[in-house]
Amino acid sequence: MVEVQDVRLSTNNAVTGFPVSYCRRMTSNMAFYHYKGTFNPLLKGKDKVFQKNRKKSNQSKLSLGGGEIYSKVLESKKRRFLIHQDYSQGKELFSIAVYDDTGTRCPLLPQPIGMNYSLKNDVSVGQHIRSPLNFSDQTYIVSCDCVDGCSSSCICALMTNDMDDVEARSSLKQNRGLLLLSNDFLNRKLLVCCGDLCKCPPTCKRRLENLIKPKKFEIYKYNDDVGYCLRTMNNITYGELVIEFVGKIKVNPDHVSEDYAMLISKYDDTDLMKTLMETTYEYIDEDAWRSYQFEEIHLDPYDFGNASRFLKHACIPNTYPIRVIVNDFRPFMHRFVFVATAPIPAGAELTFDYGRDYCNRLEMHCKCNAIFCVQQKERYTKMSPTAVSGVINAYTESLITAAIEMDHIREQFLKEQSDARKRRNGNLVKDILVEVVQDEEAEVEA
């Protein structure tokens, strides 16, 4: 435990609601906290912002301008080695530091530390895929004509909304802050966004660049067996777009980096073709899809990509990839973004499910230690059905409790920040209920 005393906090790039990192004097021990309340970097006497905790306890009591730290996410008792100050090479809004937390004196650099960092996929190889003879490349491109800005009648918005029935079949459920997704969700749900070929302005909210809010990440290694991981330094709500998966497109490759590459299209992929036909039936001829040659396409971020390549596998992940279409519907032009499936506190590791066959194919053992981990099968076979049911119920209740607590903290934070906003009659919830009652009474009278 790092005792909080003589703490000096750097206010560079301080943003309200971001996690706070602190270190004691010149040591490299660090602990990350996320907190409710605001931190005012303009306060005088930075050393007085933190109050010294004289009680010896496991939880440090800190105060930040009236905001109280409520949860400790990460504590590193080992010395941290800063390997790289900015893995993104200045291409991201916030720098991505690389740390080694294993405590070794000579930490090994991440193998792709000199990779070509990019914010967009390399699709040069996919350009060689020829369209059917009777159709041109322009056949598979759809763009909106919203000169004054996109609305609910935007073509891109309508194509996304048309997938509501597919979304229901894919078992997408919103349950107290948790998103439960089926295995076929990647090929059954498309997020259609506006792009450069659309006539809407660059500030359009439906553009992918504007949908993904800038976040601060950190690459770190806490275990030699697991390797380098990626954590968020911001609180992320469920359903929020986290980060785009960027890499190099490889068509029918003889070799791909199996540890990192994502299979985005299979040979004669009928499921993906059906989804594309359902989405674009009003804008692209169905014969164009029936005659289109679907190839085996991988998105490989090993030596070309961004920080998303460090997302680790987990049997119960906190993110899930979704397929994004920007103007061009051909498979090699598809983009992939990770969406949060649960509230993710600042300092938490980002994970997603690599697939059922990943560990078996590479002859690896999963080390996520989740309740439904594939490596836990032997444990449950020795337990009675009643005991297994009790473990599952307890785990489900803990997830729901965590989600409710996260929502409560978020509401409390917004409530404290609402003093500067105009509120009607001092009780917004009461006003909404009154409006609902009035609407119901009006319908009865009519």
- pLDDT of residue 365 exceeding 80, the answer is no
- Using DSSP bridges, classify how beta strands 304-305 and 97-100 pair: parallel, antiparallel or unpaired: unpaired
Dmax over Cα atoms in the chain, in whole Å? 78
* Residues contacting residue 346 through CB under 8 Å, at least 6 positions apart: 18, 19, 32, 34, 73, 232, 233, 234, 235
| pLDDT 10s digits, 284-302 | 988 899 888 888 899 999 8
- pLDDT of residue 173 exceeding 50, the answer is no
List of long-range contacts for 62-68, beta carbons under 8 Å, 24+ apart: 62/4, 62/33, 62/35, 64/20, 64/35, 64/37, 64/38, 64/39, 65/37, 65/38, 65/39, 65/40, 66/37, 66/38, 67/35, 67/36, 67/37, 67/38, 67/39, 67/416, 68/35, 68/36, 68/37
116-367: which CATH topology? Beta-clip-like (2.170.270)
Buried b (16+ CB within 10 A) or exposed e, 66-93: ebebeebbbebeeebbebbeebbeeebe
pLDDT score at 248: 92
Mean of the per-residue pLDDT values of the chain: 70
pLDDT score at 145: 92
Please report the beta strands in 223-293, taking only residues with DSSP state E, as ranges in sequence order: 229-232, 241-245, 248-251, 262-265
- pLDDT of residue 138 exceeding 70, the answer is yes
Interatomic CA distance for residues 395 and 369, integer angstroms: 13
Confidence category of residue 225, pLDDT binned at 50, 70, 90: confident
Q: Nearest CA to 80 among 35, 33, 24? A: 24
Q: Nearest CA to 72 among 85, 88, 61, 84? A: 61
Interatomic CA distance for residues 142 and 197, integer angstroms: 8
For residue 328, report the phi and psi dihedrals to the nearest 5 degrees: -95, 120
pLDDT score at 239: 81
pLDDT score at 279: 87
pTM above 0.75, yes or no: no
- Percent pLDDT > 90 in the chain is 19
**Mean pLDDT to the nearest integer, 206-219:** 91
Tokens of 142: 């759809």
Q: Nearest CA to 341 among 209, 205, 176? A: 176
User: At residue 192, what is the residue type?
Assistant: V
pLDDT score at 118: 92
- pLDDT of residue 6 exceeding 60, the answer is no
Domain residue spans in the chain?
1-77, 116-367, 383-445
Phi-psi label, residue 83: left if phi above 0, alpha if psi -120 to 50, beta otherwise? alpha
- pLDDT of residue 328 exceeding 80, the answer is yes
User: Residue 365 in 3-state DSSP?
Assistant: coil
Confidence category of residue 106, pLDDT binned at 50, 70, 90: low
User: At residue 412, what is the residue type?
Assistant: Q
Buried b (16+ CB within 10 A) or exposed e, 288-319: bbeebebbbbbbbbbebbbbbbbbbbbbebbb
